[in-house]
Chain A
Amino acid sequence: MPDIKQLEDLTTQVRRDILRMVHKVNSGHPGGSLGCAEFFVALYQDVMQRNDGFNMDGKGEDLFFLSNGHISPVYYSVLARSGYFPVDELNTFRLINSRLQGHPTTHEGLPGVRIASGSLGQGMSVAIGAAETKKLNNDKHIVYSLHGDGELQEGQNWEAIMYASGNKVDNLISTIDLNGQQIDGSTDDVLPMGNLKAKFEAFGWTVVEVEEGNSIEAIIKGLEDAKSKSGQGKPVCVLLKTVMGNGVDFMMHTHAWHGKAPNDDQLAIGLGQNSETLGDY
């Protein structure tokens, strides 16, 4: 087991990054970003086998695809703090001429990003394609992906979900961020999706549930469990129960902060709840 305290400190710093990034440009998506901070830290700092530097082809290493691209703040923060690009560059989030576009893209050549995302529902197909190429290349590494729960309302996901089980794409671990919220309200209010565990199982996937999706330890345990279940003829889905806005009390348990930046006072409160651990950018 890794040093959990160290990963938690990093997560706290990532939360500060998220708040400061969206506050500076008065736009962006803090809610989902905060909810997935622990997941990204666990994935990039412990779970994934990554090569040094960045190569688009990603041969001989695990890959990650972010499908719900609007949570770019957490992605950028963790990529930067994992060494893909200078942490100072977080200062340029959403500014003109930046590599840190509102939604992630390969277009500006930001190391760490292998596909554009933002228009929802496309990432699982991309991850499946990358997983099929890994098989053709006899590369035993795993392809990870992350999707919002609301995002599963996009039909393309179910095309992909069908394909992955039907074709035994068992080097794929797709995590669903189950925070129960989307822009217009709770997922149950907007478009109820029923029992996602039963749905994925009915589509032929292995499902791993992580009840404490904001606990680094629980996430690592869940992803290791998922990893142990890969390579057995079935794709693996991790249902990660998270709290949107986690770590900033007034942003938690609501969809209100899906795509809204904190003002000066709110930023101060949020930063007060997350002390500087590794140094602000």
Chain B
Amino acid sequence: MIEYKNTGNKDTRSGFGAGLTELGQTNDNVVALCADLTGSLKMDDFKANHPDRFFQVGIAEANMIGMAAGMTIGGKIPFTGTFANFSTGRVYDQIRQSVAYSHKNVKICASHAGVTLGEDGATHQILEDIGLMKMLPGMTVINTCDYNQTKAATLAIAKHHGPVYLRFGRPKVANFTPENQTFEIGKAVYLQIGNDVTIVATGHLVWEALEAAKTLNEKGISAEVINIHTIKPLDVDAIINSVKKTGCVVTCEEHNYLGGLGESVSRVLALHHPTPQEFVATKDTFGESGTPAQLMDKYGLNAKAIVEASLTVLKRK
């Protein structure tokens, strides 16, 4: 097994902030818009260094999305920043008509996704956003796993022409992917090579999947771990090639099992290679207040849950 070293817990949102700071220095066309959450989104540096390219819109997300669409006309590359709930559900129709249908080069950057924002509770914990965004034609959907990958993704989406939804989170989590990595949109990353079960994970669940693989290894089970940072377009070949070898799959995401990564994988398998699958995801429920660790445990979103799901799916082979 490959040993992954946590270089120190860091929040993925800070990776976004660092990426945006770098873009400020390297790409004059990048502009940023924020709906009164500059600190939470780690956009302070960009704001301080490029006040002329930073647009504080106030608590008015619908206007922010519309403005971002308009700002592309004339060559700007707008990055919008607010919580995932207010980046998607609250402004779905604005994204649908003014961004996706109009094919505008807007980067919708969403922090505090999933349950791990913690104590604020279900009003702020969106578990439906991947589904909402992946259903929009032409929308690229990315959910990064750690600080380094989030920074790399932020840089990568500026070079990609078209609407993107970039999802990240609030808590400090293991930072283990390479610094200064090249982020390739739509390209899965094999983290462990294994033969018995494929574990496909996205976002905060990727580190949990690596931890689960260690436990499974101790039980004599060889798990293949794939980091799917891009949910759309999905790396179909990576998934099919792996399950052809292992014969079963566990999908892992901090999202509802309806509409998320798991369903995208199911569709691919149903079409190309029907395979037993288990879902580590929330089960059609809202979240609640609590610490991130408590919530991950209660809603079955950690390494322990991935191990259990792996043992279950192995029996179905």
Q: What does the 1/0 interface line of A115-155 toward B look like (CB < 8 Å)? A: 11111011111111111111011010000000000000001
Do B31 and A125 have beta carbons less than 8 Å apart? no
Do A116 and B97 have beta carbons less than 8 Å apart? yes
Do A163 and B63 have beta carbons less than 8 Å apart? yes
Known: A115-B102, A119-B97, A156-B63. A162 touches B58 (CB 8 A): yes
User: Contacting A129 at CB < 8 Å: which of B52, B73, B75, B93?
Assistant: B73
Do A57 and B98 have beta carbons less than 8 Å apart? no
Instruction: Please tell me which stretch of B64-72, B148-156, B296-304 contacts chain A, meaning at least 4 of its Cβ atoms lie within 8 angstroms of it.
Output: B64-72
Interface of B is mostly: helix
Do B76 and A155 have beta carbons less than 8 Å apart? no
Do B71 and A155 have beta carbons less than 8 Å apart? no
Q: What does the 1/0 interface line of A90-121 toward B look like (CB < 8 Å)? A: 00000000000000011100000011111101
Known: A125-B67, A129-B69, A162-B58. A137 touches B74 (CB 8 A): yes
A280 near B: Cβ within 8 Å? Answer: no
Instruction: For the complex, give the distance between the alpha carbons of A106 and B58 in Å.
Output: 29
B103 near A: Cβ within 8 Å? Answer: yes
Q: What does the 1/0 interface line of A3-22 toward B look like (CB < 8 Å)? A: 00000000000000000000
Number of A-B contacts (CB under 8 A): 121
Do B75 and A125 have beta carbons less than 8 Å apart? no
Do B74 and A126 have beta carbons less than 8 Å apart? no
| Size bin of chain A's contact surface | 35 or more
B62 near A: Cβ within 8 Å? Answer: yes
User: Contacting A126 at CB < 8 Å: which of B31, B55, B69, B93?
Assistant: B69
Do B70 and A116 have beta carbons less than 8 Å apart? no
Instruction: For the complex, give the distance between the alpha carbons of A155 and B63 in Å.
Output: 10
Do B97 and A160 have beta carbons less than 8 Å apart? no
Instruction: For the complex, give the distance between the alpha carbons of A156 and B62 in Å.
Output: 6
A58 near B: Cβ within 8 Å? Answer: yes
User: Contacting A125 at CB < 8 Å: which of B53, B66, B74, B93?
Assistant: B66
Known: A105-B102, A125-B98. A159 touches B62 (CB 8 A): yes
User: Chain A residues near B52 (CB, 8 Å)?
Assistant: 136
Do A105 and B101 have beta carbons less than 8 Å apart? yes
User: Chain B residues near A176 (CB, 8 Å)?
Assistant: none
Instruction: For the complex, give the distance between the alpha carbons of A78 and B287 in Å.
Output: 52
A59 near B: Cβ within 8 Å? Answer: yes
Known: A137-B75, A163-B57. A127 touches B70 (CB 8 A): yes
B132 near A: Cβ within 8 Å? Answer: no
Instruction: For the complex, give the distance between the alpha carbons of A148 and B161 in Å.
Output: 33
User: Contacting B97 at CB < 8 Å: which of A122, A132, A134?
Assistant: A122
User: Chain A residues near B75 (CB, 8 Å)?
Assistant: 57, 59, 133, 137
Do A129 and B71 have beta carbons less than 8 Å apart? yes
Do B73 and A136 have beta carbons less than 8 Å apart? no
User: Contacting A133 at CB < 8 Å: which of B66, B70, B98, B101?
Assistant: B70
Known: A117-B97, A125-B98, A163-B63. A133 touches B71 (CB 8 A): yes
User: Chain A residues near B101 (CB, 8 Å)?
Assistant: 105-107, 116
Q: What does the 1/0 interface line of B43-67 toward A look like (CB < 8 Å)? A: 0000000001101011010111111
Instruction: For the complex, give the distance between the alpha carbons of A130 and B73 in Å.
Output: 6
10 A-B pairs with least C-beta separation: A129-B70, A125-B66, A159-B60, A129-B67, A133-B74, A159-B63, A126-B70, A129-B71, A130-B70, A156-B62
- Knowing that A132-B67, A160-B67 touch, tell me 19 more A-B residue pairs with CB under 8 angstroms: A57-B75, A58-B73, A63-B73, A106-B101, A106-B102, A115-B70, A116-B98, A116-B101, A118-B97, A122-B94, A122-B98, A124-B66, A128-B67, A128-B70, A130-B74, A133-B72, A133-B75, A133-B76, A163-B57
Q: Can you list 11 A-B pairs with a CB-CB distance of less than 8 A? A: A105-B102, A106-B101, A116-B101, A122-B93, A125-B63, A131-B70, A139-B74, A160-B60, A160-B63, A162-B60, A167-B55
